[in-house]
Structure 1
Amino acid sequence: MKRQRGSTGRTAGVLAAAMCAALALPGGAWAAGEGGGYTFDGAAQRVKGAVSNLDAERLKAGQSYRDTIQKNGKLYYRVDLDEKQNAYVSVVAVPRTAAKAGYSDGLKVSMQDGSGTDCGYQSVNFGGSGFTRPLAAYTHRTIDPDSSTCRQAGAYYVLVERTSQDDSADWELEIRYLTEPGVKKTGPTALPENWASGTPQPPTGGPQRRDGGGGFHDAASVRQGEWRTDIKPGQTVYYRVPVDWGQQIFATAELGSSPVADTFVSNALTLSLMNPARGYVASRDLSYDGDPSTLAFDPERPVAFENRFASDDATNGLRFAGWYYLSATLSPEIAKAYGDKPLPLTLRVNVTGQPKPAPPYDGDPGPFTVTEDDRDAAATGQSGPQAARSGTLRVVGVAGIGAGTVLVLGLGAWWLLARRAAGAGPTPG
């Protein structure tokens, strides 16, 4: 009997290990209270930011990383650059859902060369919403033909800084480092004086169902059209749109009516636009009182190489072709007035203008281009670049397959243990 009990204990241990392994699958989403269901890149590697630039770990181009930053923390990372390529390091900060946030609380990402010269930075914050949500910002080293700053080959240091007044919990970080090849010949750097600044008519044909992803990695692909989903209080959904050289992107978001109440909620929905390097371009907020409410981005310039020499973030961010990202966040304050049930959300997207030739890159542009495969993905609703299914199915499917595999292994181990125990006496059925 003692041996039977020992066998049963070992079996329970195997099954417990199987369940733990299933729950520990990489790349999944945080629980709702931790990160609002944000879906991290499953291929991201763990890295530890340094408090001194000379201790910074080196990042590899094309790789995603994960790290954690504390309240008011500062973390350094290193990238080694040549004299030709442009470099982009983006950071997505994922706080707890519905944590309090001050107006200036947020994230700053900057880059310096070995002499301490600033090459570029971007700051993003929660603004007047009063609550946290995922924030995306980037820094870059841009080769400017009219400047000698930050053009030398060597080590460059990326500094990530967090500012928080109320939220003392750690924030998870998703970091991505990309390079863009130089051009064989630099074209004009001045912005065109004339460009189409009008707003096009909204797309026709009626809404199509297209649920957003949980992060950049599994953002749902869309093209020009009207896209319908449901969004819960505190939730952020992600979409991506292919925008080619010379094209303009326009987007509006509409919250549908609710029969529950007519309470006014300011900053009820935040709509943000990010570029293919996950750099912040623009954002807008709308208020909600139970009636239909709509917001729209201001018209921005067409995607063009010379935009990178502009001083404002919106124009500067429209510097290359590729997947542009839209994220929509519904305020957790909605739950107090309208309950926890999701509200209907419609996203209307226009992409105008004929594609123009790409600049004369001296190499493969990588993600900074639009291919026929990209257009097909947008037409079919394929999620992020490394997934073939929608964001929800990807997370559930990967978790289900992983858990099922581990469970089968656990049952196999249980069967072997039962067989061994059978040699010492009868075993429970």
Structure 2
Amino acid sequence: MGRLGLAAALGLGTAATALTGQHAQAAGEDTGLTYAFAEDARRIEGAGSTADAVELEPGRTYRSTLPPHAKVFFRLELDDTETAYASATAVPPSGTGVSVADGVKVTVEDADGRSCDTDTATFGAPGSPRPVAAWAMREISPRRSLCAEAGTYYVTVERAAPDARGASPDPWELEIGTVSEPGTETPAGTRAPEAWDSATPAPVQGTAQRRPGGAGFAQATPLGEGVWRDDIRPGRTLFYQVPVDWGRQLHATAELGSSGTDASGYVASALTLDLYNPVRGEVDDLSLGYNGGQKSKALKPLPPVAYENRHASGQQISAVRFAGAYYLVAHLSPEVAGDFGDGPVPLTLRVRLGGAAQDGPDYAGGTVPADVFTVGGGDGLTSGGGGDAGDETLYRVLAAGGIGTGSALVVGLGVWTVVARRRGAGHPG
């Protein structure tokens, strides 16, 4: 692509990205807690028995319902070479009460009912209704002998604590998806990297650029390295995605700005910021108190993205096992409105990408979706196909550029989106 063509494409990408962000913000403002489900999500019913479980196809996104006091079952058909990841995003209805101990629990089981893996995501403090996601896997690994055979497996989804005090008696909506990861051509090591820079760097400085957050994973607003600003209302949840390549190290700091009012008070867990990996597995989170003055807090240092991280004992490191879109999900407690009014509070995200981009693992086959573990892949549960080598090169250049390239990364994401849609419609590249 020549310089003039690239400039025109970047301009088109800016417009496309801006429209996407505006749509997501409008959806959130008009409907409060309403979650923006993937447009192509197929509606299915979770079964009350494994005998009636509907099959989940890798790379597809589904929408279902979770009753308050029952498990629902879904089915996976797996060979003996692929690692399969299943995630469920639970969305409680707007205005409902929730318990800090409640949330969603996801388990993968084999045909004999043995658990291969399980994960639970709770609302925690401040105990306000918001979308939460949990993941579980059937992993093929030299360290694991259980669940390695080909055959039928089951994904169970249930509430974490439906009988807890204050728990909602209403059914919740679910967004479900699976991702398939092949093995590697050469035997991978079984140890996580022991040495990595665990120091917390200084937050990125500079003037914040406006970037409205999305209303769901499928509408997450792309961010690169830089300083990004939005306004968040009490009870709202905003979604952002940061493409992180193999070898790169993500750092993020969240700030709440001063309220601009004379009101006083203190909300212990006013802002929660969750970090999810490309298959919606939680990596880390933080909670930020608020007294009407500016407050900031950073996520814990994370290792560079590496295939070998999966062998670490702690989930925070193990979850940083592949490249792709990492999600920053910010939620402001409704309690903030009680002390400081229901107007928006300034939210600033400072994103830094350390390290240098590296080659990924030598996969023995293709991932499903095909581009889920690339920096141009977007949401692994909603993307279908990948770009060509030129698209991938553009992504790597933009994602690896360093401080000040945040705007370029965002417009580059817009370019890829437009090109992908044209190809999907049968237009020449």
Shorter-chain TM-score bucket reads 0.7 to 0.9
Q: For 2:188, give the aligned amino acid.
A: G
In 1, are the aligned partners of 2:85 and 2:138 still within 8 Å (CA)?
A: yes
Residue 24 of structure 1 aligns with which residue? none
Deviation sequence 1:277-310 (CA, Å, 0-9, x none): 1111111111100000111111111111111122
Counterparts of 1:285-304 in structure 2, within 5 Å, are 285-304=287-306
Report which stretch shifted further, 97-106 or 348-357. Answer: 97-106
SS of equivalent residue, structure 1 residue 314 = helix
Q: Can you list the C-alpha shifts for 1:58-111, whole angstroms capped at 9, x where unaligned? A: 111111000011213310000100111111111100112353322211111010
Aligned pair count reads 363
Instruction: Identify the residue that residue 169 of structure 1 maps to in structure 2.
Output: 170
Q: State how far apart, in whole Å, the 2-side matches of 1:32 and 1:345 are.
A: 15
Per-residue Cα deviation, 1:343-372 (whole angstroms, up to 9, x for no partner)? 110000111000111111012342012234
Partners of 1:104 and 1:346 lie apart in 2 by: 28
Distance 1:172 1:382 in 2: 33
Q: Secondary structure at the match of 1:36?
A: coil
Q: Give the counterpart of 1:53 among 7, 25, 50.
A: 50
Is the counterpart of residue 380 in structure 1 residue 405 in structure 2? no
What secondary structure is seen at the aligned counterpart in 1 of 2:331? strand
| C-alpha distance after superposition, 1:386-410 (max 9, x if no partner) | 9669xxxxxxxxxxxxxxxxxxxxx
- Deviation, 1:221, is 0.4
Q: 1:252 to 1:388 in 2, by over 3 A?
A: farther
The match for 1:207 is: 208
Matched AA of 1:352: G
Letter matched to residue 114 of structure 2: T
Counterpart check, 1:349 vs 2:354: no
Q: Give the distance between the partners of 1:100 and 1:34, measured in 2 at CA.
A: 17
Separation in structure 2 between the aligned mates of residue 39 and residue 175 of structure 1, nearest angstrom: 13
Q: Letter of the aligned partner of 1:368 in structure 2? A: F
Q: CA deviation at 1:119?
A: 1.0
Tell me the residue number matched to 2:245.
Answer: 244
- CA change 1:158–1:33 in 2 (3 A) is farther
How far the C-alpha of 1:146 sits from its partner, in A, is 2.8
Q: State the match for 1:224 in structure 2.
A: 225
2:374 to 366, 369, 374: 369
Q: Distance in 2 between matches of 1:256 and 1:67?
A: 37
Rounded Cα–Cα distance in structure 2 between residues aligned with 1:92 and 1:304: 25
Aligned mates of 1:210, 1:30 — CA distance in 2: 15
2:116 aligned partner, one-letter code: C
Could you tell me how far 1:34 is from its partner in structure 2? 7.6
Query: Counterpart amino acid of 2:248?
Result: Q
Report if aligned partners of 2:32, 2:235 keep a CA contact under 8 Å in 1: no
Alpha-carbon distance between aligned partners in 2 of 1:336 and 1:233, rounded to the nearest angstrom: 9
Between the aligned partners of 2:227 and 2:33, the Cα distance in structure 1 is: 25
TM-score w.r.t. structure 2 length?
Answer: 0.80
Give how far 1:31 is off.
Answer: 8.0
Task: Map Cα deviations across residues 290-344 of structure 1 (whole Å, 9 max, x no partner).
Answer: 0001111111111111111223221111010111000000001111111121111
Give the secondary structure class of the aligned counterpart of 1:129. coil
Q: Residue 128 of structure 1: CA displacement?
A: 2.3
Partner SS for 2:219:
coil
Could you state the TM-score of these two structures normalised by the residue count of structure 1? 0.80
Match of 1:404 in 2: none
Alpha carbons 2:92, 2:172 under 8 Å: kept: yes
**Equivalent-residue separation in structure 2 for 1:326 and 1:388 (angstroms):** 24
Change (3 A) 1:138 1:280: same
User: Residue 245 of structure 2 contacts residue 323 of structure 2 at CA under 8 Å; is this kept in 1?
Assistant: yes
Distance 1:144 1:253 in 2: 36
Distance in 2 (alpha carbons) for counterparts of 1:207 and 1:239: 15
Question: Given the superposition, is the C-alpha separation of residues 31 and 350 from structure 1 closer, same or farther in structure 2, using an over 3 Å criterion?
Answer: closer
List gaps (5 residues or longer) in structure 2: 1-23, 376-391, 400-405, 420-429
TM-fit CA distance, 1:222: 0.6
Pairing 1:331–2:333 present: yes
Q: Tell me by how many angstroms 1:243 deviates.
A: 0.8
Whole-Å separation in 1 of the counterparts to 2:359 and 2:67 = 45
Task: Indicate the residue corresponding to 2:15 in structure 1.
Answer: none
Structure 1, unaligned runs of 5 or more: 1-26, 390-429
Matched, 1:146 2:143: yes
Specify whether residues 130 and 171 from structure 1 end up closer, same or farther in structure 2 by C-alpha distance, changes over 3 A only.
same
Alignment-mate amino acid for residue 328 of structure 1: A
1:156-195 to 2 correspondences below 5 Å: 156-162=153-159, 163-164=161-162, 165=164, 166-195=167-196
Indicate whether 1:65 and 2:62 are aligned.
yes
Code of the aligned partner of 2:410: T
Distance 1:359 1:159, change over 3 A: same
Aligned mates of 1:144, 1:76 — CA distance in 2: 25
- Partner residue, 1:234: 235
Q: How high is the sequence identity, in percent, across the aligned residues?
A: 44
Report the 3-state secondary structure (helix = DSSP H, G, I; strand = E; otherwise coil) of the residue aligned with 2:54. coil
CA RMSD of aligned residues (A): 2.4
Corresponding residue SS for 1:128: coil
Once the two structures are TM-superposed, the CA of residue 168 in structure 1 deviates from its matched residue by 1.2
